Amino acid sequence: MHLLTLKIHNFGVFRGQHQLDLEPQRQPDGTRRHLTVISGHNGAGKSTLFQAIRLALHGSLALGNRVSQQDYGDFLRSRLHRYEAGDTVLTSEEGGVELSFRFVQSGRPLRIRVKRTWHRNGESVRENLNVSRDGERLDIAQEDYQIWLNDMVPSGLAPLCFFDAERLDALADPEQHSDLLSDTLRGLLGLDLVGRLQSDLTYYARRHGKGRDVDQLREEVLEQQADLDDIEAQLHQFRTVATDALNSEQADLEAELARQERCLAAEGGRYANRRPALKDRLTAVEDELEQVTEQLNRLCGGLLPFALAPKLCKSLDHRLTEEAEIVRLRAARKLWRQQVHHLEAVLEGDELWEEIPVPPETRHHLVKRLTTTLNERGVPYGADEKPLVHHLAKPERQQLKTWITQALYSVPERVQALGERLQQLQAERQRIKDDLERAPDNEVLAPIHNEIMRLEAALADLRERRLSLSEKIGALQFQREEQERQLDQAIERLKDAQAHERQLALTERSKVALRAYEDALTRQRLGMLEEKLVGAFNAICRKEHLLTDVHIDPNDFGVELHTTSGHKLELSDFPAGERQLYALALLRALRQVSRRQLPLAVDTPLARLDEEHRHRLISEYVPEVSEQVLLFATDAELNGGLLAQAQPFLARVYLLDYDSEQQETLVERMQYGP
C-alpha cells in the first residue's frame, strides 16, 4: 500500500483546499525516494494532516473503537476551520479530506480514492463518504463503503502506520508499555476480534445455559405420549361399539320394519297406499332441515354475530378507510423524502458540477434552497398524524372491509331466508308425522301399524344413541388433536434443549480452541518479535550490539532485555532518549512481524533524541523501516544537516507556515529532492 495524494479542505488550521503529493519516486538508476518530510512550527498543522489521513481511512474508528456518534460529531464540528471576522468567530459550513492510495489485491494494483466530506447543520455535522476504485464507484451500497475500507485496510493496522508523539511516549513509558504492546499486537494479529468472539460466546453460554433440563423434558414427552395413547384407546372402543353393536341392532330393526311394511302393503287399504309417499316426503323434509340447520350453524360460527352490531361494524369500516389513507400519505411522504435526499446527495457531489462555473458557496445555498422548496411541496403534515390502531397490510384491510360489508347486508338477508324456510320445513315435518301416527280404521291393519310405530321408535332411539356416541367420539377427536399439539410442542422443546446442549458444548469447545489459537499465535509472533526487536534496536542505538536477547512474557507482555555483558535490563533502566529509540525499534519489529507492506507516518519523533541518535534515525532507520515514510517534524527538530543526510531517499519537503493575519496555514513545497 502506497499513499499517493492528500487533499484537505477547511479543516483545522487549513482554509480552502490544499493538496500534498506523497507518492514514493523511483529514480532511473533504480533507487527509490520514499521519504516525505512535512515540517513546521508548533500549531502549524502537522498533527492535523497526520490526523486527516487516519480520518480519511477509518472515520470514527480513528478516534477509538468506543467513540459514540455524538462524540464523533462534536469532534468534527470542533475541527472545521474557524476564523475571526471582526468580533465574531465564524466556523466553516463544510470541510473534508480526500486520500488516494495504491493497493495491490490478489496481484492486481488498484488505485483507491477516498473522499470524506462534512457539512455542518447547526450543532450537528453530517458526514458523506465516497470511495472509487480505478476511477469507478464501488458496486456496493454507499452505507457499506466503510466496511469495504475496513476489510481492505483494517483499523487494527493503524498503530503500525500512524505513530504520533503521544503514542511514542506511551510505548516508551515503562508503566504503559506492556498494555500498549498487548493492544497493538492483538490488533495486528486480529486477536482483538478473537477476544470479542470469546466474550460473545461467554454471553451466549450465560444466556442460553439456564434452560430446562433435558431429562425433565424427556419425561414430559413420555407423559404426553401416554395421555395420547389413552385417548386413542377410548376412541377405538367407542368406534367398535358404533360399528359392531349398533350396526347389528340397526340392521335387525330395519329388517323387521321392512317385513312389517310388506305386511301392511299386502293387506292393502287407503292408509297403506298413502304411507310410502308420506315416508318419502318425511325423509326429504328431514334432509332439507339438516341442510338448512347446518347453513345456519356455519353462519353463526362466521359473520352472523357481527351482524348483530351494525353500528360497530360501520365505525370499524370508517376507521379502516381513514387508516388506509394515513398509510398512503406516510408512504408518499417517505418516498418523497428519499427522492429529495437522493437529489440533495447528487447536487452536493462534485461530479454534477464539473465544467459548470458555480462557486462552492453559491452551490451550497442553491442546493439548500432547492431542497427546502421541495420539502415544502411534499405531502403536508397533519393529515397522517392520527395514530394507527389496526396495523394491517393492504390485503388484510381489504379482506376485513369485505367481511364488514357481508355482515351488514348479505348475511342478514341470508339468515332471514333460511329462518323462514326452517319454520316451513318444521311445520311440514310435524304434519307428516301426525299423518303417519294416525292409526288406520281397519282392525286388521292396526296391529301392523302399531308394530311399525314401535320399530320406528326403536330406530329413532338407536339414532339418538348413535348421535350421542358420535358426539363423544368428536370430543375425543378434539382432545386427541389438542394432545397431539401439546406432544408436538413438548417434542420441539426437547429438541431445542438438546440442540442447546450441543450448542453449549460446541461453545465451550470453541472457547478452548480460540484460547489455544490465541496462545499459539501469540507465542509464535512474540518469538519473531523478540528476534526482530534485537536487530532493530541495535541498528539505531549508538551503543553497538547493546542487546543480545529479548524476552516478552506472553501473559502480561512484560519485557526483559539481556545485554551483551549478560545483565538483565528493564525499560526503566534506559534514559529517555534511548526509550524513544526502543519504541521506534519496537515499531519497526512489529511491522516486520505483520509481513505487510505498509506506509509509515511518524509525528515528531526527533524531539527527545540527541544529535547523534537523530542522524542514526535518519540514516539507518528511515531507509529500512518502510517503502514509504511520512515524517512530521518541527522546524526546530529538522535542520539542514539532517535533510542533507536524507537526500538520497528524500522525495519532497513541505513547509507549513501559519499566517496569523489570514488565520490559516499555508503549504509550501521546498526545493529538496527531485
pLDDT tens digits along 585-594: 888 888 888 7
Confidence grade of residue 8 (pLDDT, cut at 50, 70, 90): very high
Strands 2-11 and 14-21: antiparallel
- Amino acid in position 610: D
**Co-location of 170 and 315 in the same domain:** no
- 8 Å CB contact between 191 and 521: yes
- 8 Å CB contact between 307 and 412: yes
Confidence grade of residue 362 (pLDDT, cut at 50, 70, 90): confident
- Strand ordering across the sheet containing 162-163: 162-163, 600-603, 629-633, 35-40, 650-659, 664-670
Q: What is the domain-level CATH number for residue 69? A: 3.40.50.300
251 within a domain of the structure (yes/no): no
Q: How many CB atoms lie within 10 A of CB 495?
A: 12
What are the cell numbers at 543? 551503543
Interacting residues of 268 by C-beta distance below 8 A, sequence separation 6+ = none
* Region 312-338 average pLDDT: 83
Question: Distance between CA atoms of 64 and 363, rounded to whole angstroms?
Answer: 34
481 within a domain of the structure (yes/no): no
pLDDT at residue 225 above 60? yes
441 within a domain of the structure (yes/no): no
- 8 Å CB contact between 39 and 634: yes
Question: Distance between CA atoms of 633 and 654, rounded to whole angstroms?
Answer: 10
What are the cell numbers at 401? 372491509
Confidence grade of residue 608 (pLDDT, cut at 50, 70, 90): low
Domain boundary among 424, 448, 480: 424
Question: Distance between CA atoms of 255 and 588, rounded to whole angstroms?
Answer: 110
664 within a domain of the structure (yes/no): yes
263 within a domain of the structure (yes/no): no
- 8 Å CB contact between 456 and 256: no
Question: Distance between CA atoms of 577 and 534, rounded to whole angstroms?
Answer: 17
Question: Distance between CA atoms of 405 and 414, rounded to whole angstroms?
Answer: 13
Domain boundary among 399, 424, 449: 424
Coil vs helix vs strand at 651: strand
Question: Distance between CA atoms of 343 and 49, rounded to whole angstroms?
Answer: 32
* Region 86-102 average pLDDT: 89
pLDDT at residue 447 above 90? no
What tens digit of pLDDT does each residue of 250-279 get? 888 888 888 877 776 665 555 556 777 878
Torsions phi, psi of 185, nearest 5? -65, -40
Give residue 193's pLDDT: 66
311 within a domain of the structure (yes/no): yes
Give residue 281's pLDDT: 86
Confidence grade of residue 470 (pLDDT, cut at 50, 70, 90): confident
Tell me the pTM. Answer: 0.54
Residue 358 lies in domain: 306-424
456 within a domain of the structure (yes/no): no
Task: Quote the number of domains for the chain.
Answer: 2
What tens digit of pLDDT does each residue of 30-49 get? 778 888 988 888 888 888 89
237 within a domain of the structure (yes/no): no
Strand partners for 655: 39, 668
**Distance from chain centroid for Cα 164:** 35
Give residue 594's pLDDT: 79
Give residue 97's pLDDT: 95
Q: b or e along 533-564 (b: 16 or more beta carbons within 10 Å of the residue's beta carbon)?
A: bbebbbbbbeeeebbeebebebeebebebeee
Domain boundary among 424, 449, 474: 424
Question: Distance between CA atoms of 51 and 45, rounded to whole angstroms?
Answer: 10
Higher pLDDT, 669 or 469: 669
Strand partners for 33: 25
**Distance from chain centroid for Cα 622:** 44
Q: Return the ∠ at Cα 671 (arms to 56 and 34), rounded to 5°.
A: 50
